[in-house]
Homo-oligomer: A and B are copies of this chain.
C-alpha cells in the first residue's frame, strides 16, 4: 500500500471493515488430495465467496515464508520489508510487554559457560519455564544507574530484557557468539547515542554473571536483537480508520498495537470475539479478529484438527455478517501446511466480500478455487487494505 497516496485519498465513510485472520490458513493436499480448507465443510464461507471475490496473497515476497509479525503487518497494509521490527521488540510483543518510546529491548537466552567463560550450551539445556521464572526474579535485583530494568520470562531458556530511561540508544551489538566454544561478545555500541546503553548492558551482564554463577546449567545469559519500538504511521493517520484488535495471543496484540490499533478485551472463542466486536461496533471502523488454532493444528501436523477449526469458523460466519459490515476479508497471515508442520511460503487464500465488489466466478473458498478469482493467484498482501478502504467508501478519486 502506497501510504502517501492512501493518506491523500482517504475520506470519511460509514462502512465498517472486518478482517478475520485464520492463523496459518493455507495448506497443502492431505486427505484425499484436498487441503484442510478444501476438505472442510464451509457452506457459509462458500456462499460469501460466491458473492465476493477470491485470490491468494503473498505477504512478504514470492517464496518467502513470513513470520507472524510480517504476515500480519502485510494484512494491515504495511510493507513488511520496509516496516521491520527488531527481535527485542518482537520478544516484548510476545509477552504483552508495553514498550514505551525510547525503551531498549533485547531478546535474552540463559546459557551455559565453562570455567573459562566459554559458551558450552547457548540454550542452557532448555531449562524449564519455571526455573527461568525464578532466575528472572533474581536478575530483577540488578540495579543500573539512571535506568529502570525489566526482566521477563518468555519460555524455557528465553527471557526479555528492557531498559527504560532517558537518552538510551538501541544500536548495541549482540553478545551471543552464535556458536559454542567462544566467550560471549562484549556489547558493542554501534552509534554515539548507544555508548552509554552499551556500558549499562555491560554492567548488567557482569552482575548477571555473579548472580547466576551457581545456577549451572543456566550460569550466564546471552543478549541479542537490541531494538526500540518503531514509530510508524498509524492506521488512523494513513487510512483514517479507528482500528481495533480482538486477539487473545500477545504477539498479535503487540503487532496490532504497533500500527495504533486499540486492544479490546474478549473471550478466546470466535463467538466471544464477535460479541466484543458488536459491543464496540460504533466506536471503531476496522476490526481485526484473530483465530489462532488453525496455525497450532498445522504446526502439530494435525490435518483434521485444522479442518475442525475452519468448520467452526464457518459456523460463526452468520454472526459476523449480522453485524452488517461493509467489507469482510477472511484470510490467513501465512500458510501452515500440516504436512510441513511449520509456516510456509505458499500463497494464502483470501475471501473478499463487499456489497460494492464485482463478484468473480469462484464458488468455493479453497486454495485451488481461489486461483481463478478476481484478486489473482499471487498478489501482494498489503494491497488488501486499500481494496477494503475503497469498498467501504473510504477512498476518494485520484486526479480529475
Evaluate whether A375 and B377 lie within 8 angstroms (CB atoms) in the complex, with A65-B390, A400-B87 already known.
yes
Which chain B positions have C-beta within 8 A of A388?
63
Instruction: Digitize A46-84: 1 where CB-to-B-CB distance is under 8 Å, 0 elsewhere.
Output: 000000000100001111111111100000000011001
Which chain B positions have C-beta within 8 A of A383?
62-63
**CB of A360 closer than 8 Å to a CB of B:** yes
For A61, give its contact among B5, B347, B359, B374 (CB under 8 Å): B5
Evaluate whether A399 and B70 lie within 8 angstroms (CB atoms) in the complex, with A376-B377, A387-B62, A389-B63 already known.
yes
Q: Are A65 and B398 in contact (CB under 8 A)?
A: yes
Among A331-380, those with CB < 8 Å from B are: 340, 343-347, 356-361, 367-368, 371-379
**CB of A265 closer than 8 Å to a CB of B:** no
Evaluate whether A375 and B373 lie within 8 angstroms (CB atoms) in the complex, with A386-B63, A390-B345, A398-B67 already known.
no
For A67, give its contact among B61, B368, B397 (CB under 8 Å): B397
Which chain B positions have C-beta within 8 A of A376?
376-378
A237 to chain B, nearest CB (A): 18
- Count copies of this chain in the complex: 2
For A358, give its contact among B28, B64, B390 (CB under 8 Å): B28
Q: Are A371 and B371 in contact (CB under 8 A)?
A: no
A39 to chain B, nearest CB (A): 14
Q: Are A340 and B360 in contact (CB under 8 A)?
A: no
Evaluate whether A358 and B400 lie within 8 angstroms (CB atoms) in the complex, with A64-B9, A383-B62 already known.
no
A333 to chain B, nearest CB (A): 11
Assembled-state Cα–Cα distance A69/B81 (Å):
29
Assembled-state Cα–Cα distance A343/B377 (Å):
26
Among A204-228, those with CB < 8 Å from B are: none
Q: Are B361 and A69 in contact (CB under 8 A)?
A: no
Which chain B positions have C-beta within 8 A of A397?
65-67, 343
Assembled-state Cα–Cα distance A372/B376 (Å):
9
Q: Are B81 and A396 in contact (CB under 8 A)?
A: no
Q: Are A80 and B378 in contact (CB under 8 A)?
A: no
A215 to chain B, nearest CB (A): 27
Q: Are A360 and B356 in contact (CB under 8 A)?
A: no
**CB of A15 closer than 8 Å to a CB of B:** no
**CB of A2 closer than 8 Å to a CB of B:** yes
Assembled-state Cα–Cα distance A79/B190 (Å):
33
Q: Are B396 and A65 in contact (CB under 8 A)?
A: yes
10 A–B contacts, CB within 8 A, in A order: A60-B399, A62-B387, A64-B390, A66-B398, A84-B399, A90-B400, A360-B368, A372-B372, A374-B378, A376-B376
User: Which 9 A-B pairs have CB atoms at the shortest separation, nearest pair first?
Assistant: A63-B386, A67-B399, A63-B390, A70-B399, A62-B383, A63-B387, A345-B390, A67-B400, A65-B397
